[in-house]
Amino acid sequence: MDHFELRNGVLHAEDVGLTAIAAAVGTPVYVYSRATLERHARVFAAGLAGVPDKHIAFAVKSNPNLAVLRLLAREGYGADVVSEGEMRRALAAGIPAADIVFSGVGKTKAELASALEEGIGQFNLESEEEGVELAVIAAAQDRQAVAALRVNPDVDAGTHSKISTGKADNKFGVAYDQAGAIYARLAALDGLTMRGLAVHIGSQITNLDPSRAAFIKMGALMRSIRSAGHLVSHMDLGGGLGVPYREGEELPGPAEYGAMVAEVTADWQATIMFEPGRVITGNAGVLLTEVIRVKPGANHPFVVVDAAMNDLVRPAMYDAWHDFAAVRPTGERITANIVGPICESSDTFAMARDIDAVQAGDLAIFRTAGAYGATMANTYNSRALVPEVMVDGAKWAVVAERIEPATILAAEHVPDWLESSTGSA
Ligand SMILES: *Cc1c(COP(=O)(O)O)cnc(C)c1O
């Protein structure tokens, strides 16, 4: 459920007409609903009611906006970060360092050192080498690093190949059959407290069976590591729960996911950790855009909108579907291709889609754009970096400004040796 609905014929975000936001901020612009974010955060936590001892760390990469992080901090969420930049954001939003999990396959020595200085709660190690480096850095700082070992359970999450992370040939984690030995070696190092295992098999998971299979394998590994005499007090089950991108799509929700986890982990006697991203933010945001013009096509007209693949890359990168809706629908429908202005054929949001009829100058939205939307935006084709707005009832605020091409241009420099001579070729 979200709060982007028609009122008197105009799409609103909570109590604010999207026409008002477009008039004030321009388009394209991301619009987030505070009520939806809060609701998702609470529904996810409530779904885990059957898991008595838990820690929820929001996957910052899905939407790192400072206002979004602040809201989730107020809901008691920790953070799962994958870079120093994300860690700084989480800390700036008021998330306690102890509630931050540092994940990621390529943490640098500098990142490990600054995360240790900040007192980050848990490092999810992706290799034995990383654990050895972390132990050395911690010992040099006279600190104790708290860590979990990420394991690749070799389970196919059944999701898009580019967001699948738990198969044996994915780059994440250590091989399942070597994990016990690696854990034992890391546990023996000064400076490192090994306290758990971590797993994350992919994103936009729409069937709970692969997750269940992975968690059962992780439980078996936990028991064998414990029986070798090591502490395993924390089990991090990652994120990955999918969201409906199409109207009417039925997916397992937090309640079913939570019930499955509660059943599988009932006798684990561990703190169960979660790293939800998309399920919190996905349906809490839309991308608001204006139709530049409609041009004829061979089979269907092209609706050319002012949002493009640089603003929302998921369709180009993952063949993802985002529902499209007019802000002032007339009731008329057309079959059309929806494209952005970028000079690439991949800058296509939809082909031969049955949509609200729109014309030049009309406003429209792409739904379910709150996760992996603005965070993946770039300035390709020297376009502006897309701004973000958050709505709260009848209030709204710009929570990330549009960064104009001129600002980006001002950070570029032509070296003297290109200016001075007329060329010596
Ligand atoms: C991306 C990621 C998540 C969040 O995934 P969602 O599908 O957005 O829930 C959680 N943990 C790790 C390690 C990740 O890389």
Counting from 1 in the atom list of ligand 1, the atom nearest the Cα of 242 is 7
pLDDT beyond 70 at 348: yes
CB atoms within 10 A of CB 20: 13
Instruction: Please give the angle made by the CA atoms of 30, 36 and 38, to the nearest 5 degrees.
Output: 115
Q: How far apart are CA 130 and CA 58, in angstroms?
A: 23
Residue 419: band (very low, low, confident or very high) from pLDDT cuts 50, 70, 90: confident
* Percent of residues, the chain, with pLDDT higher than 90: 94
Residue 170: band (very low, low, confident or very high) from pLDDT cuts 50, 70, 90: confident
pLDDT beyond 90 at 171: no
Token pair 């929302």 in the structure block, residue: 312
Residue 424: band (very low, low, confident or very high) from pLDDT cuts 50, 70, 90: low
Counting from 1 in the atom list of ligand 1, the atom nearest the Cα of 275 is 10
Token pair 């603005």 in the structure block, residue: 374
Q: Is 343 a catalytic residue?
A: yes
Residue ID of nearest Cα to ligand 1 atom 10: 239
Counting from 1 in the atom list of ligand 1, the atom nearest the Cα of 371 is 8
Q: Measuring from each residue's beta carbon to the nearest atom of ligand 1, which residues come in under 6 Å?
A: 59, 61-62, 80, 103, 200, 203, 238-241, 275-279, 371
Ligand 1 centroid vs 61 CA: distance in angstroms?
8
Residue 210: band (very low, low, confident or very high) from pLDDT cuts 50, 70, 90: very high
Q: How far apart are CA 40 and CA 283, in angstroms?
A: 9
Report pLDDT digits (tens) over 103-161.
999 999 999 999 999 999 999 999 999 999 999 999 999 999 999 999 999 998 888 88
Among 234, 222, 232, 239, residue whose Cα is nearest residue 274: 239
Domains of the chain plus CATH, in order, are 4-31+283-410 (2.40.37.10), 34-281 (3.20.20.10)
Residue 423, pLDDT score: 57
Q: What is the mean pLDDT of the chain?
A: 96
Find the largest Cα–Cα distance for the chain: 76
pTM assigned to the model: 0.96
Report pLDDT digits (tens) over 241-282.
999 999 999 999 999 999 999 999 999 999 999 999 999 999
pLDDT (mean) for 43-67? 98
Q: What is the CA radius of gyration of the chain?
A: 23
pLDDT beyond 70 at 163: yes
Q: How far apart are CA 415 and CA 7, in angstroms?
A: 55
Report pLDDT digits (tens) over 101-110.
999 999 999 9
Residues 6+ apart with CB under 8 A from 46: 254, 255, 258
Indicate which residue of 343, 411, 418, 425 is catalytic. Answer: 343
Residues 6+ apart with CB under 8 A from 280: 37, 40, 41, 44, 58, 62, 63, 72, 371
Residue 124, pLDDT score: 98
CB 172 within 8 A of CB 150: yes
pLDDT beyond 90 at 420: no
Residue 99, pLDDT score: 98
Q: How far apart are CA 309 and CA 76, in angstroms?
A: 34
Helices (H), 246-357: 254-265, 278-281, 314-318
CB 211 within 8 A of CB 173: no
